[in-house]
């Protein structure tokens, strides 16, 4: 079973990816990825299209298990000491602890309130007061409360794109996950909505371990503590964001972050 126990391991060992190789059918897309993610850090995954960023991200809550041909070839991903691919792991519980926000905001076609409390409903909570408190808490955490508090029972799809994405973040944080995965969370948003999501991530820093895929180098610089650069399914370099952008050790990284690698 996936047990979100009280933190027991040192930060450096919170989320180690070890020799992780992955394929779709016969097509290998990740090769021996070694990455140690620290508790409560914000880590950006960067690299050219098709290098495996989403595949790695989606392996961390095993949402990629839904792809029929997808398979782990070797290696492990651990979260606080638990090998998430071991047979005893309860995948539903894992996904509750490892939330995910997608590029295309995807609120359910229900009210704002129902989206905010979705996780609690699934967990069987029916007490009205508890649900109302949880909705307010998660909408406040997602910096959306003031904009929606008078229209909680309206359709979520009537919100602006940026608001819908913040609602998706509210839905994810309502479950109090340990880890939040975000796959290009601002790619469908305009610059103002993007700035609000970045502010929100900065506000939430320290409450969750964030792993964020982005094609936006400036965004990685603004929000990430650490950055991991991937190329053709391999991790090339993982370091403090300032180092990756200011003093990369690998030539490939330098070419990518300066826009000379296509």
Ligand X SMILES: Nc1ncnc2c1ncn2[C@@H]1O[C@H](COP(=O)(O)OP(=O)(O)OP(=O)(O)O)[C@@H](O)[C@H]1O
The contact set with ligand X (CB under 6 A) reads 24, 29, 47, 49-55, 67, 69
- Which of the choices Mg ion, ligand X, none does residue 125 contact, using the CB cut-off of 5 to 8 A by kind? none
- Which of the choices ligand X, Mg ion, none does residue 122 contact, using the CB cut-off of 5 to 8 A by kind? none
Instruction: Output 54 or 115, the one with its CB closest to Mg ion.
Output: 54
Instruction: Output 54 or 194, the one with its CB closest to Mg ion.
Output: 54
- Token look-up 């998660």 returns 138
Q: How far is 198 from 96, CA to CA, in rounded Å?
A: 23
Q: How far is 39 from 83, CA to CA, in rounded Å?
A: 16
- Which of the choices ligand X, Mg ion, none does residue 67 contact, using the CB cut-off of 5 to 8 A by kind? ligand X
- Which of the choices ligand X, Mg ion, none does residue 24 contact, using the CB cut-off of 5 to 8 A by kind? ligand X
Instruction: Output 45 or 169, the one with its CB closest to Mg ion.
Output: 45
- Which of the choices Mg ion, ligand X, none does residue 148 contact, using the CB cut-off of 5 to 8 A by kind? none
Instruction: Output 116 or 179, the one with its CB closest to Mg ion.
Output: 179
Span 13-72, contacts to Mg ion by CB under 5 A: 54
Question: CB 183 → Mg ion: shortest distance, Å?
Answer: 6
Question: CB 48 → ligand X: shortest distance, Å?
Answer: 7
Question: CB 58 → Mg ion: shortest distance, Å?
Answer: 9
Cα 132 to chain centroid, rounded: 26
Q: How far is 116 from 108, CA to CA, in rounded Å?
A: 10
Binding mask 135-174 for Mg ion (x = CB under 5 A): ----------------------------------------
Instruction: Output 55 or 219, the one with its CB closest to ligand X.
Output: 55
Question: CB 63 → Mg ion: shortest distance, Å?
Answer: 13
What region, left, alpha or beta, does residue 14 occupy, with left being phi > 0 and alpha being psi -120 to 50 degrees?
alpha
- Which of the choices ligand X, Mg ion, none does residue 116 contact, using the CB cut-off of 5 to 8 A by kind? none
Question: CB 91 → ligand X: shortest distance, Å?
Answer: 18
Question: CB 197 → ligand X: shortest distance, Å?
Answer: 18
Residues of this chain that bind Mg ion (CB under 5 A): 54
């Amino acid at each position: 079973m996936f047990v979100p126990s009280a933190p027991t391991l040192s930060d450096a060992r919170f989320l180690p990816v070890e020799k992780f190789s992955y394929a779709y059918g016969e097509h290998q897309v990740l090769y021996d990825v070694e990455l140690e993610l620290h508790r409560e850090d914000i880590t950006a995954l960067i690299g050219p299209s098709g290098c495996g960023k989403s595949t790695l991200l989606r392996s961390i809550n095993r949402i990629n298990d839904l792809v029929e041909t997808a398979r782990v070839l070797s290696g492990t991903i651990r979260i606080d000491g638990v090998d998430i691919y071991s047979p005893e792991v309860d995948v539903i519980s894992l996904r509750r602890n490892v939330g995910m926000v997608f590029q295309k905001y995807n609120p359910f076609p229900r009210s704002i309130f129902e989206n905010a409390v979705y996780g609690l409903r699934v967990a069987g909570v029916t007490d009205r007061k508890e649900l109302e408190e949880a909705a307010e808490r998660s909408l406040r955490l997602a910096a959306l409360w003031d904009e929606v508090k008078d229209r909680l029972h309206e359709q979520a799809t009537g919100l602006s794109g940026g608001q819908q994405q913040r609602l998706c973040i509210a839905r994810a944080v309502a479950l109090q996950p340990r880890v939040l995965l975000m796959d290009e969370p601002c790619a469908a948003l305009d610059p103002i909505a993007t700035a609000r999501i970045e502010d929100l991530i900065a506000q939430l820093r320290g409450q969750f371990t964030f792993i964020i895929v982005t094609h936006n180098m400036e965004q990685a610089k603004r929000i990430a503590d650490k950055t991991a650069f991937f190329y053709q399914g391999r991790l090339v370099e993982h370091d403090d964001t300032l180092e990756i952008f200011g003093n990369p050790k690998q030539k490939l990284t330098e070419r990518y972050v300066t826009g000379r690698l296509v």
